[in-house]
Structure 1
Amino acid sequence: MSGKHVTFILVVFLWHYGSSQVHPQVRLAGGWEPHSGRVEVFYNGNYGTVCDDNWSIEATHVVCKELGFRKGETFHYDGRYGPGGGEILLDNTHCNGDELSIFDCEHNPIGRHDCSHAEDIAVTCVPLPITEPPPPPKERFELRLRSKNDVEPINEGILEMNLGNNKWRTICADDWNLDAAKVACGELGFSKAYKPTKKYSNKDYRRKSMIRTGIQCIGTENLLSDCEIEELEHRKYCKSRRAVALKCETAEYGHKYSNRPNPVGTGKKNNDKKKNATQEVQSTQGNYEPEVRLKAGAYIGEGRVEVYHAGKWGTVCKTGWDLGSASVVCRQLGFGSAKEVIFDAGFGQGIGPVWLWDMYCKGNEKSILDCYHGIWNGSSCTHYDDVGVRCNVPKHDLKKNVRIVNGRWGSEGRVEVMVGNSWGYVCGDTWDMVDALVVCRQLGLGYARQALPTTYYYGSRLRGAMIMGDVHCTGKEWSLMDCPHTIRANFTCSSPTMRAGVICDVALPDVVLDVHRLREYLYLQDMPRHLLKCAAEEGCLSSVPDKYGGSRRLLRFSTVILNRGLAAFKPFLQRNDWVWHACHLHYHSMEVFSTYDLISRDGEKVAEGHKASFCLEDTECDPGHTKRFTCTTEQGISVNCKDNYKHSIDCQWIDLTGVESGNYILKIHVNPDKFVGETDYDNNEIQCELYYSGYSVSPGRCHYSYDL
């Protein structure tokens, strides 16, 4: 398609059963596939769009079925497929899911809304079956470990196979070996297999339910059903008269995630939790340097694959990437085999070099770097070719002690936790985006779009007491109960309304700073104080007395913010909550959009600056992507677009007046307080080595903060 945006438009006319009335037309526009796109409806001779207010998966089902698809798969906020034209015809649409047409759902009077085209709803439907059926899939069996030990995850016990309809059967141990055990453990989410340490009685083995034997694996298969399996003719032919017992564990090398990071109700408060909210757990094995990591995934064990080489993190190209290569990565991180491979920047585009390409792994390598690959950073791949993976992880019943209630739809609401046999609320005094991230992941609802310290607008029907507070998650936990916290009957909170809540989403933005552009435009400028009146009102000047009879020495630079995520980056506050600044004649949509700090070699902050996000817009976009946001309409940064804050703009500086000469570190941090939800916060900060002579500046190495 050569980067051109191809629009598929599918129009379907439906009739009411028993009626001659024709339903208004509905179509999907702006999508790359026939089954996805912006929802447009036909009314009074013209097509118009639908606002995303109160949209739900039930409304998605109605639209998709009206178009002839089986059902809806998901829906997208923030004008995923671009803004539509014409009128916004429907708003506050509420469907039960069984309506024949979107117009049969509850909605505002047609044409009455409070939206802009940046809020046009889009949907993705489950595609229609293809006309030529694919070859029958190989029989796949669900596995589990049966054990009297109920501590999750269960990693040792009798291996059982589900034949369907919840008919679980054991496997005869004849011909069973360590290769088969490795495959089974990998499918269960573990990276290594061992001989069981427990002894099992004949009663434990349940010989009467044995059904399979003769399993032959080479050890690199992703599923046990990929191995050669012969059916046991009769249980009496099991020569060993034993069923397979299995012990699985995570790997002892490399980066890995802890299965249970903190025991329930314990753990010290982590005051530095905001620094590395999504950073991987460090290995306890010496001073191991990480080689691979997963980034921007909503759940543990998934994300964009990144490798560390020559002092920088980079990505992997899709050429040669398959389940075998992905399984090496998963096992290297302490998970099981790969469940799914993700192509074409499915977790958003990475930054830095595209290190690996033309991959070939045998499947038994301990590191992805042991696999064959092309010369480092030697391909013509771009970050549009970045790959990701979803790994098999150990099963946990994560939803048993947390839930969200009273939200407008299933992905948002007030957080409730179960302690003992009672449900209660979480105090919102310390509640932030990292805590919300853990809850959304635990409930299988994706990323955290917003952390709500108070949820009074979700209704006053309260069913329990405040029982949890002082929550301080790091972002690595599987469950909210794994985070450091305090449990107390009638927990004292600053206000009864401070009951924590979350808004979750399947797609979020990911803003990244352009390192090269920062280093390119770094210079000093002396400015008279009387020309900086507006900047002074905005707090962009230091309190140090004026230099040289009323001038300020400013370290100026440009910052370019790219959105490499899966949805538009939009201001935290709605437009009617923005603050008008009369001096500069613009709105402040976020109090602090980015921070600029000058740090001494001993870690002391000697000067600072900040940039209020008065104008987020699409300054330029990648080929094939269209600008959507401008200062004069809606503010934001579209996916694969960038916003350029030029060095000549007010407050685009650090006031160095009174700072002594020497070596410093310049730190730039975008979205520092995480008010806007992102898929990854670790790439929001960059650092530059800087020498200040008192009259000039000389930049040294500039890098992302995690490339240390």
Structure 2
Amino acid sequence: MSPRLLVAITIVILGGKLSLGSDASSFILPFTDCIQSKGREGYYQGSIDVTESGGKCMNWSDVAGVKDRYPGKGLGDHNFCRNPDGRIRPWCFFRNNRGRIDWGYCDCKQGLVRLQGGRSKLEGTVEVYLNGAWGTVCGDGWGDQDAAVVCRQLGQGYKGRARHSPMSRLSFSLVHWSTMHCGGHEEDLLQCPKTMWNGGGCTNRQVAAVTCSLQEAVFVPMRLVGGSSGREGRVEVYHGGQWGSVCDDQWDDADAEVVCRQLGLSGTAKAWGQAYFGEGTGRILLDEVQCTGNELSVEQCPKNAWGEHNCEHREDAGVSCTPLTDGSLRLVGGSGSFQGRLEVHYRGQWGTVCDDGWTDSNTQVVCRQLGFRSGEGASPGLFGEGAGPILLDDVSCTGKEPALTHCGRREWKKHDCTHQEDLSITCSPERVSHGVPASVPLRLVGGETPMEGRVEIYVQGQWGTICDDGWTDRDADVVCRQLGYTGLSKARTMAYFGEGEGPIHVDNVKCSGAERSLADCIKQPVGTHNCRHTEDAGVICNYGQQDVSITDPVASLCGLRLTHTRQKRIIGGENSLRGGWPWQAAIRLRVPQGEGRLVCGATLISSCWILTSAHCLASHHCFSALTPLQVHCFKR
């Protein structure tokens, strides 16, 4: 969309923000009643963290100066919508689809839940408020973990029992979601994986209902210690006034799943023993923990009495809770992580892969995605039959793909197989150095051209970013060379091309500049970092060789200087995020041939608006001149 011209008649600067005379009220969207979530002082205090347009709110701490400008107005280290400036409706900052900081209003009723038709306020059919209307949820696959989230959202305790109600004509016309896949730890249904309703009836002609219990599950305080991030570490529990560790006797992935759920960490749960994250120093408080994997708290699992054990700290248990994406892989039922029945993750559930047409090239892709150097073999049924859905069939890889889902295949869940054809894989037990294969796939994201952007690498089935700690032009040289560029390379830091959304895979990259692959520069294990996405690294390849035409309706490199022959810098200012406002603009009159003459200067104040003076348009009949104008932007 081309930027619009905003003709300034009266300009008033209030508290560093731009106000537009008496017309400012015209920018306020229709009022939404948020009174049920306001605090005593009239400021919204709910937990909605998405704008009306679907943008994920940024953490208020990541926007410089905002908390200082509005002290005591509910801003902090969170990303919930707020109205600190006294606006009627809460709002937040978010990254738009170009990676730039924008803001938008929030609908604070979005995602609210209520129970209808029950004998008390603790039971009934589940109704959800979405897009201005209350609607139901199909009962297909509805379970106790989904019910637990509903009851938690209603403030009626953490324990919920799934029920079903017959589908009425009213509920048939107002179904919002077909299926839910809550883990049980989510704060509200909006956070759960789900499938949108696409019309028609629910499979069993029933909608979701719950019965909530006032008795909350007992949640023993728990923490993870010694990991490289908050998603992994030695498990420690608090009992009798002190923190202590858990012995790894009987410790397995089912126990890890409960720990991750209790801590609110969704994804793949993996158990670690033998003090993998270091030995604790306090008491050993738990032993012989034997969860089934469905519990909401470790307190609900069979285990020895508090303090009863036969262990030493070299047996301290740990967990890692790795976020899942569609296409994640695992091997199940083997004697180690390098072998087992192949399972793939899709829309909140694990399923198997059929062996039709399977080749050695497919095996190599699987093993490389899982972090092993190579594949050794594949056969059906070697490690047992799966119990879930068969998700993939007729997979055909060349062997060069970064992930199994990049290979040719049928659509998800389309197959002509039985579980007797479930594929089993054996990989070489030797893992690649630091979990990064030598041919690690790279891509640049968020740039104005293919030659620049945020650097992302594909490791363990996920695209992720690189932290900018120690990021230099030498690292950029290796990235650009690996991508096929031969010109001058420049490193960019501080999320110059916008913040990524996946995991941060790598930190402290150390290239000499001569390496053939970025993998040769990675000196620590994948996932080890102390960063946030505000530190995502980027590069500009073929620096100074990008051709920019000033006859385009809108310059393709808005905000980038056109030459780099004289390097300058500003001392003592503030770091400006890419896409921040205001930026300078030049307004030209479009003519049949040539560039057109310069009409006036202007300032870009948002992604769609340009601020200029009224007299600039006086000789061009104002409104008729709006269309012929074109804009070129230069770095401020």
**TM more than 0.5:** no
Band the TM-score falls in, shorter-chain normalisation: 0.3 to 0.5
